[in-house]
């Protein structure tokens, strides 16, 4: 869906994207990273709103250097911040957005009512947007990105500023609406739960660099069954000893992560510590969520 | 149930037929123009009506034969028909226009970009398949068309009326084809210039009422200051006509008079004729309009890059 090759983007002395290379497949993809990691910059570059300092980027098979404007016919965009004119009604706004994308009045009107129907908006769609709640405004913002039936929609922090209930509703709406319209999703966020709820794959960015690209389900499966071990002495010898028992340990957090198979794994860890003359300070079966992975990668 | 499934299927398979970029831009422009003429914009409608009445009144007065052609030294006849191809249309247009065009331009243009910047909907427009330039053209069209309604349109009606008085002879049109072109060029020139300046203020000061006020004060304020300063300099014997180029109204009027091939004449203080090289006049004009265009483009590019 999106291919970026050695993309560098600088704002003066600040480097927002630093030799960023990524291959984003079709589906629902989350871009995760702390504030200032370069997520929004990447989304804006992929949308053709800003140019790269160097490097190349291809979106839906089109080279962005050659085609920054027309590619947006295939892309929907939901910005992070509030950007809806208060003076219009929901229906008027969506029709206007459809027309600005190049749809005919009839097509824009029909699509507007279909989308608002999917969003369960009744009579309130004829009310001025200034009267809408935060959640409704976000829904309208999402709807404007899908009005022209794009192949992919870029969602920039779609749950930003929402209370937990509205956030859950918004995530369900994103899932539902993109599912029913068959649209690919590129979700940029710093909230892990959003990625867990919506995405099939996650890309973690930090300091403008790609840190990790992984399937969300696999990542969660892999991380739930782990024993966190902290030892004193030669970690190398301990890892070698574990390997002799058929266990591959990885470094993570404050110590090592040993995959949990059954309770016998604990005995194998103790044996390996004894054989490698290491002190076993801590051994705990960890319920690791994506938070841990994220913090590990970002740190 | 089956019907629901069909609706869902249609929604999923939806592929929009999208028009070309020029059509999108033209559509945006025309919708913007119609919004300016909607009943919500009472002040705009009132000003348009006032300018039309003013022009009509002027036209009726002129038809009495009291038109001050004889007061102008560079005409040798007070014959209405003879002086008509020269300054008549310019005066007719500028009579009402000079007083209210700036006000109308200020009110109508001030919100066009400012509102998009204030509510940040500019980001949504620029995420559509239109470029920054397309967006600017789309915001230029409404105010340009509105100003054309009060600059070129009344003169065109007078032109048609005079053609009617001449017996609707085709020869009359042939003999006055350049006048028709001049009317259109003059109208387009004033409308385009004030639209661009208005949009610049709308971008620079992204609050509608402040932008309108600043535009009005800038144009009229500079005109009054420059004209007084010019007179003082003239009295003290060190006057330089180029000072007038610093005032937008004077600059546009000078070019306006060029379009009709007449000698510049400033009515406020009875100044007649100025001595400025064409290249200086057009150079300053291109500099001002070019700077406005570059500034607006730069401001919007900053909005694109930042949230």
Q: B35 in contact with A at a CB cutoff of 8 Å?
A: no
Confidence label for B55 from pLDDT (cuts 50, 70 and 90): confident
Q: Strands across the sheet with A226-232, in order?
A: A250-252, A255-259, A226-232, A279-286
Q: How far is it, in rounded angstroms, from Cα B144 to Cα B123?
A: 24
Q: How far is it, in rounded angstroms, from Cα B259 to Cα B247?
A: 18
Residue B276 has what pLDDT? 80
Q: Are strands A184-189 and A152-156 parallel, antiparallel or unpaired?
A: parallel
pLDDT tens-place string over residues B236-290: 877 777 888 888 888 888 888 777 666 655 545 555 667 788 888 899 999 999 9
Q: How far is it, in rounded angstroms, from Cα B105 to Cα B219?
A: 11
Q: Spell out the domain ranges in chain B.
A: 21-305
Q: Which residue of A has its CA nearest to B7?
A: A114
End-to-end CA distance of chain B: 44
Residue B175 CA to chain centroid, in angstroms?
27
Report DSSP letters for A181-238, one per residue. HT-EEEEEES-HHHHHHH-SEEEEEETTEEEEEEEHHHHHHHHHSEEEEEEES-HHHH
Q: How far is A154 from chain B (nearest CA, A)?
A: 10
The vertex-B113 CA angle with A59 and A136, nearest 5°, equals: 65
Q: How far is it, in rounded angstroms, from Cα A242 to Cα B122?
A: 59
Q: B130 in contact with A at a CB cutoff of 8 Å?
A: yes
Residue B78 has what pLDDT? 42
> A110, exposed or middle or buried, with CB in 10 Å at 0-12, 13-18, 19+?
middle
Residue bearing tokens 């070129």? B152
Task: Give percent of chain B with pLDDT exceeding 90.
Answer: 27
Mutate to test the interface with B, among A44, A45, A69 (most CBs of B within 10 A): A69
Residue B225 pLDDT > 80, yes or no?
yes
Determine whether the interchain pair B16/A149 forms a contact, defined as Cβ–Cβ distance below 8 Å: yes
Report DSSP letters for A95-128, one per residue. HHHHHHHT--HHHHHHHHHHHHHHTT--GGGGSB
CB atoms near residue A35 (< 10 Å)? 8
Q: How far is it, in rounded angstroms, from Cα A239 to Cα A269?
A: 10
Least confident span in A7-16, A262-271, B73-82: B73-82
Quote the DSSP letter at residue A10: E
Phi and psi angles of residue A258, each rounded to the nearest 5 degrees, phi first: -115, 125
Cβ atoms of A93 and A85 within 8 Å: the answer is yes
| Counts of helices then strands in chain A (DSSP H, E) | 10, 14
Residue B92 has what pLDDT? 59
- The mean of the pLDDT values for chain A is 85
A182's CB contacts (< 8 A; 6+ apart) are B12
CA-wise closest residue to B36 among B216, B185, B191, B220? B191
pLDDT tens-place string over residues A134-193: 888 888 998 899 898 888 999 988 888 778 888 888 888 888 878 877 788 899 888 888
- Answer yes or no: same fold for A2-219 and A225-298: no
CB atoms near residue A61 (< 10 Å)? 9
Q: How far is A120 from chain B (nearest CA, A)?
A: 14
What residues of chain B lie within 8 A of the CB of A71, using their CB?
Answer: 129
Torsion of CA A269, A270, A276, A279, to 10 degrees: 110
The vertex-A211 CA angle with A210 and A217, nearest 5°, equals: 110
Strand partners, A11: A14
pLDDT tens-place string over residues A52-70: 888 889 998 888 877 788 8
From 3.90.1170, 3.90.550, 3.30.70, 2.10.240, which CATH number describes the A225-298 domain? 3.30.70
Residue B138 has what pLDDT? 95
Q: Spell out the domain ranges in chain A.
A: 2-219, 225-298
Helices (H), A12-159: 39-46, 90-101, 105-118, 134-146
What residues of chain B lie within 8 A of the CB of A86, using their CB?
Answer: 119
Confidence label for B8 from pLDDT (cuts 50, 70 and 90): low
Q: Are strands A152-156 and A75-78 parallel, antiparallel or unpaired?
A: parallel
Quote the DSSP letter at residue A89: B
CA-wise closest residue to B8 among A180, A29, A299, A85? A180
Tokens of A9: 């983007």
Torsion of CA B12, A147, A98, A24, to 10 degrees: -100
Residues comprising chain A, all counted: 299
Confidence label for B198 from pLDDT (cuts 50, 70 and 90): very high
Cα diameter, chain B: 91
Q: Which residue of B has its CA nearest to A85?
A: B119
Q: Which helix (H) or strand (E) holds B257?
A: helix B248-259
CB atoms near residue B122 (< 10 Å)? 22
Cβ atoms of A216 and A196 within 8 Å: the answer is yes
What residues of chain A lie within 8 A of the CB of B126, using their CB?
Answer: 49
The CATH architecture of the domain made up of A2-219 is: 3-Layer(aba) Sandwich (3.40)
Q: How far is B105 from chain A (nearest CA, A)?
A: 22
Quote the DSSP letter at residue B21: H
Q: What is the mean pLDDT of residues A264-272?
A: 89
Q: How far is it, in rounded angstroms, from Cα A234 to Cα A25?
A: 41
Task: Work out how many CB contacts closer than 8 A connect A with B.
Answer: 107
Q: Is ipTM over 0.95? A: no
Residue B80 pLDDT > 90, yes or no?
no
Q: How far is it, in rounded angstroms, from Cα A203 to Cα A210?
A: 7
What residues of chain A lie within 8 A of the CB of B119, using their CB?
Answer: 82-86
Q: Which of A70, A80, A98 sits opposite B129 (nearest CB)?
A: A70
Confidence label for A101 from pLDDT (cuts 50, 70 and 90): very high
Q: How far is B77 from chain A (nearest CA, A)?
A: 55
Dihedral over Cα of A97, A101, A102, A103: its sign: negative
Mutate to test the interface with A, among B21, B32, B125, B127 (most CBs of A within 10 A): B127
Cβ atoms of A197 and A170 within 8 Å: the answer is no
Residue A231 CA to chain centroid, in angstroms?
35
Q: How far is it, in rounded angstroms, from Cα A199 to Cα A216?
A: 7
């Amino acid at each position: 869906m999106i291919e970026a090759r050695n993309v560098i983007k600088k704002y003066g002395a600040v480097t927002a994207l630093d030799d960023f290379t990524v291959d984003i497949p079709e589906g629902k993809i989350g871009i995760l990273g702390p504030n200032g990691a370069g997520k929004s910059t990447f989304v804006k570059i992929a949308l053709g709103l800003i140019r790269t300092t160097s490097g190349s980027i291809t979106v839906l098979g089109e080279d962005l250097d050659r085609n920054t404007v027309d590619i947006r016919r295939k892309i929907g965009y939901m910005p992070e911040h509030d950007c809806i004119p208060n003076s219009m009604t929901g229906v008027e706004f969506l029709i206007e957005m459809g027309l600005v994308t190049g749809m005919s009045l009839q097509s824009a009107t029909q699509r507007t009512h279909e989308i608002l129907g999917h969003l369960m908006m009744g009579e309130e769609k004829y009310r001025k947007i200034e009267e809408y709640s935060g959640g409704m405004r976000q829904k309208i913002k999402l709807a404007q990105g899908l009005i022209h039936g794009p192949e992919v929609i870029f969602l920039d922090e779609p749950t930003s500023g929402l209370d937990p209930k509205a956030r859950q509703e918004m995530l369900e709406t994103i899932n539902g609406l993109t599912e029913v319209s068959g649209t690919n999703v590129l979700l940029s966020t710093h909230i892990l739960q959003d990625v867990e709820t919506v995405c099939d794959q996650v890309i973690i960015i930090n300091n403008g660099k790609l840190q990790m690209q992984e399937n969300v389900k696999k990542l969660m499966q892999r991380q739930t069954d782990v024993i966190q071990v902290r030892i004193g002495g030669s970690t190398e010898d301990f890892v070698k000893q574990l390997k002799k028992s058929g266990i591959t340990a990885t470094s993570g957090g404050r110590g090592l992560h040993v995959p949990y198979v059954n309770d016998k794994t604990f005995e194998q860890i103790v044996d390996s510590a004894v054989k490698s003359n290491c002190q076993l300070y801590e051994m705990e079966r960890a319920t690791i969520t994506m938070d841990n992975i994220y913090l590990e990668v970002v740190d | 149930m089956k019907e629901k499934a069909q609706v869902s299927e249609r929604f999923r398979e939806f592929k929009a037929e999208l028009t070309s970029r020029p059509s999108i831009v033209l559509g945006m422009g025309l919708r913007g123009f119609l919004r300016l003429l909607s009943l919500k914009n009472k002040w705009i409608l009132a000003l348009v009506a006032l300018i039309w009445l003013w022009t009509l009144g002027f036209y009726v007065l002129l038809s009495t034969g009291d038109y001050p052609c004889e007061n102008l030294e560079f005409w040798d006849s007070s014959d209405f028909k003879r002086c008509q191809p020269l300054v008549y249309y310019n005066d007719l247009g500028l009579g009402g226009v000079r007083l209210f065009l700036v006000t109308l331009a200020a009110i109508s243009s001030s919100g066009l970009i400012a509102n998009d910047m204030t509510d940040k909907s500019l980001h949504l427009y620029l995420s559509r398949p239109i470029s920054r330039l397309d967006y600017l053209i789309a915001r230029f069209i409404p105010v340009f068309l509105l100003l054309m309604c009060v600059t070129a349109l009344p003169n065109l009606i007078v032109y048609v009326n005079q053609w009617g008085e001449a017996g609707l002879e085709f020869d009359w049109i042939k003999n006055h084809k350049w006048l028709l072109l001049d009317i259109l060029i003059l109208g387009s020139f004033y409308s385009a210039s004030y639209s661009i300046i208005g949009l610049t203020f709308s971008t620079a000061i992204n609050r509608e009422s402040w932008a309108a006020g600043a535009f009005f004060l800038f144009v009229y304020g500079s005109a009054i200051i420059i004209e007084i300063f010019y007179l003082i300099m003239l009295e003290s014997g060190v006057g330089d006509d180029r000072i007038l180029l610093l005032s937008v109204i004077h600059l546009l009027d000078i070019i306006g008079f060029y379009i009709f091939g007449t000698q510049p004449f400033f009515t406020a203080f009875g100044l007649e004729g100025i001595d400025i090289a064409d290249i200086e006049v057009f150079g300053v004009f291109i500099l001002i309009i070019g700077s406005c265009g570059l500034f607006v483009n730069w401001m919007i590019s900053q909005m694109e890059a930042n949230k």
